[in-house]
Amino acid sequence: MFTGVRSVLSRSGRRIGLLVAPFLVFAALAAWALSSPVGSSPDDDFHLTSIWCATGNSEYCAPSGDPGTRLVPPAVADPACFAYDADKSAGCQNRIDFTAGATEETERGNFAGGYPVVYYGTMSLFVGPDVHASVLVMRLINITLFVGLGVALYLLLPVNRRQILVWQWALTTVPLGLFVLSSNNPSAWALMGIGYGWLALLGFYEAYGRKRIGLGVVFLLTAVMASGSRSDATIFFVLAVFAAAILAFQSTRRYWLSSLLPVAGFVICALLFRSSRSVDVVTGGLDEQLTLGVLIPRIAYNLTEVPSIWTGIFGQSWGLGWLDTSMPAIVWASGLAALIGAGFVAARAGSVRKFIVVALGALALAVIPVTLLVLAGKDVGEDFQPRYLLPLVVVFTGAVFFTTARQTITFSRPQVWLVVIALSGANFVALHLNIRRYVTGIDALNADLDAGRQWWWQLIVTPNITWVVGSIAFGLALAILLPRQRETIPLTAELPAPVAAVNSPV
């Protein structure tokens, strides 16, 4: 029915669409960056202080005399006056002097080296006298990195892997992923480092020619990003590397030689992991005897409840921000339904290696949080947050979309468009509520975000514009990218001629 329309739009139209897509993704994430104030992501007081103190500039971070504390600008030390109370807008920040020097003493910061230093060190390049501007620039830098790496992989990966690249991010990032990626939180780097890293490695194993160099560089960069941001991300990165290595496994000389690259990645991880001295803080609160009688019921309980951490990435029972911005059912139901529906269709393309990776992935998604919680004497809902697990969910979803060279994953047009609508709709609602929560507090439900606002950036762009433009950009980006990857692009179409000839009789 639509073939006529499509042929009119033709190649040039779709090519323009592809050129525009990165900018649309950037715009969508930038809207999320604007949607929340300084200090909105979890523990941002800690992270911002750590960034300011990574400058080594006493104008921004001065010693206090006490080795456990530092002096930083008040807007950095204690910006989250709104945290934990969703009815309280970010208007309370008006009382903070955003231009003050390093005057406030704080003990919340990476002074003892609990976190790796690469993220803080990089972000500290963008610290300036204006806290607002610095924070926004850092967020935009993170977004640029995400979009840049995505574009690079889209161009470098073997064509049949583009489907994984696009779908794994689309299905897992509304709303928590979008919030984290456009925040000042090191989780942003953990997320993109792991989510991109495993794909870069998969591509490195599978690609031929000069693209391999590019993929190798991207992989090493993501290794630095992941293990340079959070110590748990180092562990997840290693797991993700194994996922790629299993999926690409071949008992050939080429494979084993290629495996030197992940080994180099491990070395980076090990160096950065060692440099941060955090042998899990989570296990700190242990005070009771661990007998089997205590352990078994606790393990059983946590195993039956652990899916709530997974679905938390869609906003179910877990809020955004300081876990205080809860999402309505439509947001998490749409995100979850899109992931399960598309994943179920993708599961049809089965193979032994995919089965192994997906099974081990599911096991890891359950066992890692349960183990940490049980050891800490906690239950699901405490301590272990969905954002810690999100990078692994991205890799898991990507693995579900894995196809062998002769398989394809095909969605019908109604299916793709349903996913586009569901995710755009969820983003539309989630972005609105996230802005609402900070401009007036969540209690003032009203379609107009500009009305009676108590907080916003010193920008021409108003909350309403941010919301509308961000939602449209996100919707358009999905509408361009997902239908293009409705069907796995066959590999043979792009292989260099001699290789294609070798492969075709198979």
Residues that bind other proteins (CB under 8 A): 297, 300-301, 303-308, 310-311, 328-331, 333-334, 336-337, 340-345, 347-350, 355, 380, 406-408, 410-412, 414-415, 418, 429, 445-447
CB of 446 to other proteins, least distance (A): 7
Q: In the complex with other proteins, which residue's Cβ is closer, 120 or 310? A: 310
Q: In the complex with other proteins, which residue's Cβ is closer, 277 or 348? A: 348
Q: In the complex with other proteins, which residue's Cβ is closer, 31 or 327? A: 327
Q: In the complex with other proteins, which residue's Cβ is closer, 22 or 490? A: 490
Tokens 């980006």 locate to: 477
Q: In the complex with other proteins, which residue's Cβ is closer, 154 or 417? A: 417
**Distances from the Cα of 8 to the Cα of 3, 108, 160, 249, 366, angstroms:** 9, 59, 26, 43, 49
CB of 400 to other proteins, least distance (A): 10
Give how far the C-alpha of residue 506 lies from the chain's centroid of Cα atoms, to the nearest Å: 38
Secondary structure (3-state) at 244: helix
Q: In the complex with other proteins, which residue's Cβ is closer, 241 or 429? A: 429
CB 348 within 8 A of CB 333: no
Strands (E), 27-122: 62-63, 70-72, 104-106
Strands (E), 199-326: none
Q: Report d(CA 202, CA 353) in Å as an integer.
A: 13
CB of 306 to other proteins, least distance (A): 7
Q: How far apart are the first and last CA of the chain?
A: 36
Q: In the complex with other proteins, which residue's Cβ is closer, 279 or 447? A: 447
Record the tokens describing residue 123, joined without a space: 């972000």
CB of 412 to other proteins, least distance (A): 4
Q: In the complex with other proteins, which residue's Cβ is closer, 121 or 343? A: 343
Q: In the complex with other proteins, which residue's Cβ is closer, 286 or 300? A: 300
Strands (E), 19-164: 62-63, 70-72, 104-106
Give how far the C-alpha of residue 481 lies from the chain's centroid of Cα atoms, to the nearest Å: 18
Q: Report d(CA 310, CA 387) in Å as an integer.
A: 9
Q: In the complex with other proteins, which residue's Cβ is closer, 55 or 334? A: 334
Record the tokens describing residue 253, joined without a space: 């000389």
**Surface-to-core class of residue 286, CB atoms within 10 Å of its CB (0-12 exposed, 13-18 middle, 19+ buried):** exposed
Record the tokens describing residue 7, joined without a space: 């042929």
Residue 235, amino acid: I
CB 373 within 8 A of CB 384: yes
CB of 350 to other proteins, least distance (A): 4
Q: Report d(CA 255, CA 310) in Å as an integer.
A: 33
Q: Report d(CA 374, CA 298) in Å as an integer.
A: 7
Q: In the complex with other proteins, which residue's Cβ is closer, 25 or 336? A: 336
Q: Report d(CA 181, CA 122) in Å as an integer.
A: 16
CB of 353 to other proteins, least distance (A): 13
Q: String of b and e for 195-226 (b: at least 16 CB within 10 Å)? A: bbbbbbbbbbbbbeeebbebbbebbbbbbbbb
CB of 380 to other proteins, least distance (A): 8
Q: Please name the residue ranges forming H helices in 276-351.
A: 292-305, 307-311, 329-346
The CA angle 277-84-321, to the nearest 5 degrees, is: 65
